Amino acid sequence: MNQKVLNPKRLFYVFLRILGFLVAPIIILFLAINLIGSLLLTSPLIKNDLGGIGIYNPYELSIVSPKSEFSKLMPWKKIALHIHSNEVWYTPERQSLKDLTKSYQRNGFEWISISDYNLVTDYRKWNAKTFLSYEWSSSLLKRHFLFVGVKTAILDPFYFFSTRENIQWIIDQHRKRDGFIVSNHPTLYDSMPIEFLANLSGVHAVEIFSPFGDDPKIMDKLLERRKPIFAMAADDLHYLPLEESRLNHESDLIEFWKKISFVYGREGQAFQRFILMPNYIDSEEQIYQALCQGNYVSVRKFDRRTEDFSLRYVKFENNTLEIAFNEKVKEIRFITSSSEPTLIVRNVSSAKYNIKEKDSYVRAEIIDWNGILTTNPIYRTESMEQRPICKTKI
């Protein structure tokens, strides 16, 4: 009798049956929720009308400072979005809000936003230099979006599959809340190819610099499809580097656990992808306004230990885009399509480009020894769909 009970083959089948009784109902429940949600939670894919005649300039206010007549000489502030913490119940091994704040401030960042999965992490009461955001995830398909400026999260009902109409429904719910909407890491598993994104309405920016793929041409290809899209750069940080954790006095026990689980090899290339905003922007409301207007630039550093770009100003006046630095850079490119750059100027500290009648948009892309910097596009409104409205007040 005991031999039959202890038979390994019998025990294995008993284990499978118990596992089936416990897990199968849960999987079936989530599949049912997904199926019902995919049928009911949909929005039609509607192309917006084209804008009026004129040129949209995201940097119209970037050289207007209430503090100085010489604001075009001002430094730009480092802003970090898309950072994950241990506030979500299923990510207890990640860094605390306190440690993340200390590390980003130590590395020169003035404002940060924690973007946990399906949770708005609000810690503004003890850290005044933070603003609201969260990452919404269509789980298995990795169709993730960053929603900035919203106060509450919408849980993901599409655990296993989703259509474009389902994703459009999620975007529409956040448009009602006036959120700033970013398509995260679209190249990850090719989760959101160009044609998929081009059929969505209401997305304000696309993550062209991400640890899961750096590709500025994503923005160009969407602009060519008449989508008035901005750039975004983010660490998508899940774990801080080992040296940062030690500076934050992380316990030896936690360090040992992270070493044996190889966590320190997955730090998301910390402090290498971020945005710069004009120095006069100094409140949460101004952060939202700058994002909405596109009044920022996106940066991808090749190494977190290198110096930052010494950007002086970006301006567009008299149909001319001009960008200037405090020292010479290797190369300034002016991009007007996803093909080759229209103009390349090398070993200079500033450069200009006069937008031509044939150009539907223009952006500047700087390549130097320390990294890549890109402006948001200046574009002809009659060549693009109407720009989606987003949050300008808290």
Report d(CA 8, CA 179) in Å as an integer. 56
Report d(CA 214, CA 295) in Å as an integer. 21
Counting every residue written for the chain, the total comes to 394
* Residue 257: band (very low, low, confident or very high) from pLDDT cuts 50, 70, 90: confident
> Residue range 121-147: average pLDDT?
90
* Residue 114: band (very low, low, confident or very high) from pLDDT cuts 50, 70, 90: very high
Answer whether 370's CB lies under 8 Å from 382's CB: no
- pLDDT for position 64: 45
Q: Which has the higher per-residue pLDDT, 30 or 359?
A: 359
CATH architecture designation of domain 55-383: Alpha-Beta Barrel (3.20)
- pLDDT for position 191: 86
Model pLDDT for residues 60-83, shown as the tens digit of each residue? 876 544 455 444 455 899 999 999
* Residue 90: band (very low, low, confident or very high) from pLDDT cuts 50, 70, 90: confident
Model pLDDT for residues 184-241, shown as the tens digit of each residue? 999 998 889 999 999 999 999 999 999 999 999 999 999 999 999 999 999 999 888 8
> What would the two tokens of residue 190 be?
């090719």
Percent of the chain with pLDDT over 70: 90
Residue 198, class by beta-carbon neighbours within 10 Å (0-12 exposed, 13-18 middle, 19+ buried)? middle
92-120 burial: b if 16+ Cβ within 10 Å, else e: eebbebebbbbbbeebebbbbbbbbbebb
- pLDDT for position 266: 59
Q: Euclidean distance between the first and final Cα of the chain, in Å?
A: 71
Mean pLDDT of all residues belonging to the chain = 88
- pLDDT for position 65: 46
Least confident of 62-71, 145-154, 327-336: 62-71
Least confident of 60-74, 92-106, 318-332, 335-349: 60-74
Report d(CA 176, CA 390) in Å as an integer. 9
Q: Which has the higher per-residue pLDDT, 355 or 91?
A: 355
Least confident of 146-150, 265-269, 374-378: 265-269
> Residue range 359-386: average pLDDT?
96
* Residue 37: band (very low, low, confident or very high) from pLDDT cuts 50, 70, 90: confident
| Domains of the chain by residue range | 2-40, 55-383
Enter the pTM of the model.
0.90
Long-range pairs for 289-292 at CB < 8 Å and ≥24 separation?
289/392, 291/148, 291/149, 291/180, 291/204, 291/205, 291/390, 292/180, 292/204, 292/390, 292/391, 292/392
